[in-house]
Amino acid sequence: MFRFEDPLVLSLLLAIPALFWFRNRQSRRGATIRYSAVDAVRGAGAGQIRWAHRIPGLLRALALAAVVVALARPQTGITSENVRTEGIDIVLVLDVSSSMLAEDLEPNRLEAAKIVAADFVAGRRNDRMGLVAFAGQAFTQAPLTFDYGVVQSLLGELEIGMIEDGTAVGMGLATAVKRLQASDAASKVVILLTDGRSNRGEIGPITAAQMAQALGVRVYTIGAGSQGTARVPVQDPLGGTRYATMRVDIDEPTLQEVAALTGGRYFRATDTESLASIYAEIDELETTVIEIENFTQFGEEFPLPLALGFLLLMAELALAQTALRTLP
CA atoms within 13 Å, Cβ hemisphere of 116: 29
Predicted pLDDT at 161: 93
- List CB contacts of 172: < 8 A, sequence separation 6 or more: 93, 95, 132, 133, 134, 138, 192, 194
> Could you tell me whether strands 74-86 and 2-4 are parallel, antiparallel, or unpaired per DSSP bridges?
antiparallel
Q: How would residue 28 be classed by pLDDT, with cut points 50, 70 and 90?
A: low
Dihedral sign, Cα of residue 107, residue 109, residue 114, residue 117: positive
> How many Å separate Cα 62 from the centre of its chain?
47
Q: How would residue 84 be classed by pLDDT, with cut points 50, 70 and 90?
A: low
Q: How would residue 235 be classed by pLDDT, with cut points 50, 70 and 90?
A: confident
Q: How far apart are CA 129 and CA 61, in angstroms?
A: 68
Predicted pLDDT at 265: 97
Ranges 52-61, 115-124, 220-229, 303-312: which has the least confidence: 52-61
The model's pLDDT over 101-149, given as tens digits with 9 standing for 90+, comes to: 999 999 999 999 999 999 999 999 889 999 999 999 999 999 999 999 9
Q: How far apart are CA 286 and CA 314, in angstroms?
A: 68
For residue 118, the tally of other CB atoms under 10 A from its CB is 18
Global pTM exceeds 0.75: no
Predicted pLDDT at 286: 86
Predicted pLDDT at 1: 75
Burial class (CB in 10 A: 0-12, 13-18, 19+), 159: middle
Given a contact cutoff of 8 angstroms between Cβ atoms, the answer to whether 86 and 305 are in contact is no
> Tell me: domain 88-287, CATH 3.40.50.410, correct?
yes
Q: How far apart are CA 12 and CA 266, in angstroms?
A: 71
Per-residue CA distances from 326 to 20, 34, 36, 37, 322 (Å): 18, 16, 21, 20, 9
Predicted pLDDT at 324: 62
Beta strands in the chain (DSSP E): 2-4, 74-86, 88-95, 128-134, 138-145, 187-194, 217-224, 229-235, 241-247, 266-269, 289-300
Ranges 138-142, 158-162, 226-230, 272-276: which has the least confidence: 226-230
Average pLDDT of the chain, as a whole number = 85
- List CB contacts of 293: < 8 A, sequence separation 6 or more: 81, 82, 83, 84
- In the chain, the amino acid numbered 91 is V
- In the chain, the amino acid numbered 233 is P
Predicted pLDDT at 128: 93
Helix axes 148-157, 109-122, angle to 10 degrees: 180
Given a contact cutoff of 8 angstroms between Cβ atoms, the answer to whether 285 and 141 are in contact is no
The pLDDT of residue 212 is above 80 = yes
Q: Where are the domains of the chain?
A: 2-29+48-79+295-321, 88-287
The pLDDT of residue 17 is above 60 = yes
The model's pLDDT over 35-56, given as tens digits with 9 standing for 90+, comes to: 555 555 555 554 455 566 667 7
The pLDDT of residue 60 is above 70 = yes
Burial class (CB in 10 A: 0-12, 13-18, 19+), 182: exposed
